[in-house]
Amino acid sequence: MVMEFIPTREAGLARLNAFLPRAGRAYAAGRNYDEPDNVSGVSPYLRHRIVTEPELLKAVLARHSPEAAEKFIQEVYWRTYWKGWLEMRPPVWAQYRAGLQAALNRVQTEAGLRRGWEAACAGETGIDAFDHWARQLAETGYLHNHARMWFASIWVFTLHLPWELGADFFLRHLLDGDPASNTLGWRWVAGLQTPGKTYLARPDNIAKYTRGRFRPEGLAHAAPPLNGPPHPPRMDPPTGAAPPRGRVGVLLTEDDLSPDWLLSRVDVVEVAVFDGTALRSPLHVSGNVQSFVASALDDLDTRIRPLRRLATTGDVTHWAEGFEAIALPHPPVGATADALRPALPRARTHRMLRDHDRMAWPHATAGFFKFKKNIPELLKAHDRQADLFE
The pLDDT of 213-221, averaged and rounded, is 97
Residue at which a domain ends, from 162, 193, 209: 209
178 domain residue, yes or no: yes
pLDDT, tens digit, 9 for 90 and up, residues 43-66: 999 999 999 999 999 999 999 999
Q: Are 205 and 101 in the same domain?
A: yes
Residue at which a domain ends, from 180, 209, 238: 209
What does R_g of the chain's alpha carbons equal in angstroms?
A: 21
Which residue range forms the structural domain that includes residue 54? Answer: 9-87+360-384
179 domain residue, yes or no: yes
Q: Are 61 and 146 in the same domain?
A: no
Q: Residue 383 pLDDT more than 90?
A: no
DSSP 334: T
151 domain residue, yes or no: yes
Pick the closest to residue 95 from 164, 156, 155, 196 (CA basis): 164
CA 377 to chain CA mean position, Å: 24
Q: Are 105 and 38 in the same domain?
A: no
Q: Are 275 and 344 in the same domain?
A: yes
Q: Are 29 and 120 in the same domain?
A: no
Q: How confident is the model at residue 271 (pLDDT cuts 50, 70, 90)?
A: very high
Instruction: Please give the order of strands across the beta sheet that includes 307-310.
Output: 307-310, 268-274, 248-253, 325-329, 349-352
Q: Are 106 and 162 in the same domain?
A: yes
375 domain residue, yes or no: yes
The secondary structure element, H or E, covering residue 149 is helix 145-153
Q: Residue 70 pLDDT more than 70?
A: yes
226 domain residue, yes or no: no
Q: Are 203 and 98 in the same domain?
A: yes
CATH number where 306 lies: 3.40.50.620
Q: Are 134 and 33 in the same domain?
A: no
Residue at which a domain ends, from 160, 192, 209: 209
Number of domains in the chain: 3
Q: Are 105 and 56 in the same domain?
A: no
- Say what percent of the chain tops pLDDT 70: 98
Q: Are 103 and 197 in the same domain?
A: yes
pLDDT at 349: 98
* Residue 240 to residue 77: CA distance in whole angstroms: 20
214 domain residue, yes or no: no
Pick the closest to residue 90 from 352, 337, 276 (CA basis): 337
CB atoms within 10 A of CB 160: 10
pLDDT at 3: 74
At 388 the three-state DSSP class reads: coil
218 domain residue, yes or no: no
CATH number where 369 lies: 1.25.40
Prediction pTM value? 0.96
The pLDDT of 263-281, averaged and rounded, is 96
CATH number where 101 lies: 1.10.579.10
DSSP 47: H
pLDDT at 382: 76
Q: How confident is the model at residue 387 (pLDDT cuts 50, 70, 90)?
A: very low
229 domain residue, yes or no: no
pLDDT at 196: 83
